[in-house]
Structure 1
Amino acid sequence: MLKRLLSIKPLLLAALIATTFAAGADADSPARPEAKATPPVPLLWKVSDQDNAVYLLGSFHLLRPSDYPLSGDVSAAFEDAEAVVFELSPAEMASSALPTQMMQAALRQDGKSLQDDLDAATWQKLQNYANQNNLPLANFATFEPWFVGLSISILEMTKQGLDPKLGLDTHFMEIAKKAGKPTDGLELAGDQIRMLDGMDAVEQRQFIAEALEQAEKGPAEMEALHRAWRNGDADLLWSKMAGDMKREYPRLYQRINVDRNDAWLPKIQQRLSQSDSDDTLVVVGALHLLGSDGVVEKLRGKGYKVERVCSVCESEIKR
């Protein structure tokens, strides 16, 4: 579940969860001390043709204040880019209609309740989780399982001090607006919502079961993923995020990662071909840039020059 969450944009979902469950959720977890740290090592690649470039930056969608400032490499890529592209455009993310659209997709339309979708053991675990976290379980009952599973994951991440408002893509949406740089999205919010709502019953049950399992394990796995992102460790992120999902849930991996990467590819190529001078910064979830199914290798396979941009890395990482 945590791995899948890193491949979608959770800011809107987090806002809906806060609104829906604020009456019961325990928000009094102790704040994490913010130790001073060196800037994160960027997951940043430069893709070039004969006359211009696209920078590909791997995002962690929820971050902490201590994850800023960013490295000089990332700042330089932003300064060099004439435009910034995200999974969803900032204009659509700010749309007042979008929360309603997502809530309508998440609400059940089949007359059943959440308990009807779950086996007895999973339902008991969900009840235990709700009691331990002072969550009104009745508020979950009318939602699709995918929404409940993602809700649990985001609640667990926010307990660890990770904030969707501090995510890397949100950061760049804000500074692109201040800098007056044009922005765009690689897909529509409706596409992302249909991707989630289109999961079959088995996949949706797995969403909840895995989210509850991760909650029982505690913060260790998410801390490891966050640390790997900070360290720019593409190989570890591949094995722990994409690799695990590809082995354990191949249909879901295809829908969440591969299909979307393939749909984005021509749009990124157009950015390379449509101008002889303008460069673009593309900010997407790190999962989408990793491994043989990732955008980086797909563009390399089409003959573009691809290089890791990382002044503090000992050597270029090809994954």
Structure 2
Amino acid sequence: MRKFTRRVFRSVLLMALSVVTLSATAATSVWKVSSGDNVLYVGGTIHVLRQSDYPLPVEFDRAYLRADRLFFETDLEQLHTPEVVQRMQQAVRYPDGISGLDKRVSAALYQRIEKVWAQYGLPPEAMVGLRPSGIVITLTMLNLQQIGVDAQGIDDFYHRRAIADAKPVGGLESVDQQIRLLAGMGAGDEEKFMSMSLDELQQSGGLVDGMVEAWRRGNLTDLDRLVLEDMRRDSPAEFRKLIVDRNRKWLPQIEAMLADRQVEFVLVGSGHLAGDEGLIEQLQQRGYRVEPVQ
């Protein structure tokens, strides 16, 4: 989610159901997963919100209060350190001596990128050397600011709360993995990636409202349509890298949590819960009982 673009929201904010039965009954994007007497909670998050989107649905607090420890997509404390921020800034730039984006897309598209960049009041020299991810992230964040999407996201909200309450926290993947995903956005298909991203940036007027509404209702069908459908169809390699492969790596970790007596609260981007490839459907297929928290 400043206007959201589908591609950036599912990728950035990196860096996300055909199963109608759950989406029709869920009250919000929090699910209880059971294996015998062992339980954990899975919450779908939006990484950036508007002030008007608070307070969060009460089900998030219920899961948080019952949890002994929290897990996020990555180590959020490390993610915000100056050293990691610097590495991420470097990751969205091409190394010196390597051809830039102007050599990787058509002249017409590059002119369009320059025009949009200038429309946001950005100096042209600031774009030189940026990878597609750097350009799209910059434009998206400025776009989001324009519509007031500047509040703390759900992940940061509960991470800070857990630290204050001395609850253990962890990450499902390393910061290095997230940096590699960031650097690789659009690589090898820069023309299509940039063209679609600019199209979505212009057409994203009501997407924030739709995504927040679907998230509040736990409507996995709508989340699949808004977050994943286009990427699954138009960019299957990107979809596999950003969604499917990561979900598959996270599932054994979640299953290990279900093997112990502690109660975990796993918070990941809502796009990772939706669709046949999503965590909710995959956990059901593995025989766990999955029910919405109401």
The 5-angstrom pairing of residues 31-110 of structure 1 reads 42-109=28-95, 110=97
Alignment-derived partner of residue 3 in structure 1: 6
Residue 8 (structure 1) shift: 4.6
SS of residue paired to 2:157: helix
Alignment-derived partner of residue 188 in structure 1: 174
Are the counterparts in 2 of residues 149 and 207 from structure 1 also a CA contact under 8 Å?
no
Query: 5+ residue gaps in structure 2?
Result: 16-26
Q: How many aligned residue pairs are there?
A: 280
1:97-141 CA deviation, whole Å, 9 max, x = no partner?
A: 101221222221243233222212211211221222111121111
Q: Report sequence identity in percent.
A: 30
The 5-angstrom pairing of residues 1-319 of structure 1 reads 2-8=5-11, 10=13, 42-109=28-95, 110-163=97-150, 166-199=152-185, 201-273=187-259, 275-276=260-261, 278-309=262-293, 311=294
Residue 199 (structure 1) shift: 4.6
Q: Letter of the aligned partner of 2:223 in structure 1?
A: L
1:277-306 CA deviation, whole Å, 9 max, x = no partner?
A: x10111100000111100111111111111
Distance 1:72-1:146 versus aligned 2 partners, 3 A rule: closer
Residue 209 (structure 1) shift: 1.7
Residue 237 (structure 1) shift: 1.1
Q: Letter of the aligned partner of 1:10 in structure 2?
A: L
Residue 162 (structure 1) shift: 1.2
Q: Which structure is richer in relative contact order (CA contacts within 8 A, separation 6 or more)?
A: 2
Q: Letter of the aligned partner of 2:282 in structure 1?
A: K
After superposing the two structures, state which structure 1 stretch, 141-150 or 178-187, moved more: 141-150
* CA distance in structure 2 between the aligned counterparts of 1:270 and 1:126, rounded to whole angstroms: 46
Residue 3 (structure 1) shift: 2.7
Are the counterparts in 1 of residues 79 and 85 from structure 2 also a CA contact under 8 Å?
no
SS of residue paired to 1:107: coil
* CA distance in structure 2 between the aligned counterparts of 1:131 and 1:9, rounded to whole angstroms: 22
CA RMSD of aligned residues (A): 2.2
Are the counterparts in 1 of residues 120 and 142 from structure 2 also a CA contact under 8 Å?
no
Query: 5+ residue gaps in structure 1?
Result: 14-40, 312-319
Residue 60 (structure 1) shift: 0.8
1:128-185 CA deviation, whole Å, 9 max, x = no partner?
A: 212221111211111112221222222212222112x511101111111111110000
* CA distance in structure 1 between the aligned counterparts of 2:12 and 2:100, rounded to whole angstroms: 27
Are the counterparts in 1 of residues 44 and 267 from structure 2 also a CA contact under 8 Å?
yes
Are the counterparts in 1 of residues 28 and 216 from structure 2 also a CA contact under 8 Å?
yes
After superposing the two structures, state which structure 1 stretch, 182-191 or 232-241, moved more: 232-241
SS of residue paired to 1:7: helix
SS of residue paired to 1:306: strand
| TM-score normalised by structure 1 residue count | 0.81
* CA distance in structure 1 between the aligned counterparts of 2:169 and 2:132, rounded to whole angstroms: 33
Q: Letter of the aligned partner of 1:288 in structure 2?
A: H
Residue 9 (structure 1) shift: 5.4
Are the counterparts in 2 of residues 9 and 87 from structure 1 also a CA contact under 8 Å?
no
Residue 200 (structure 1) shift: 5.7
Distance 1:9-1:181 versus aligned 2 partners, 3 A rule: farther
| TM-score normalised by structure 2 residue count | 0.88
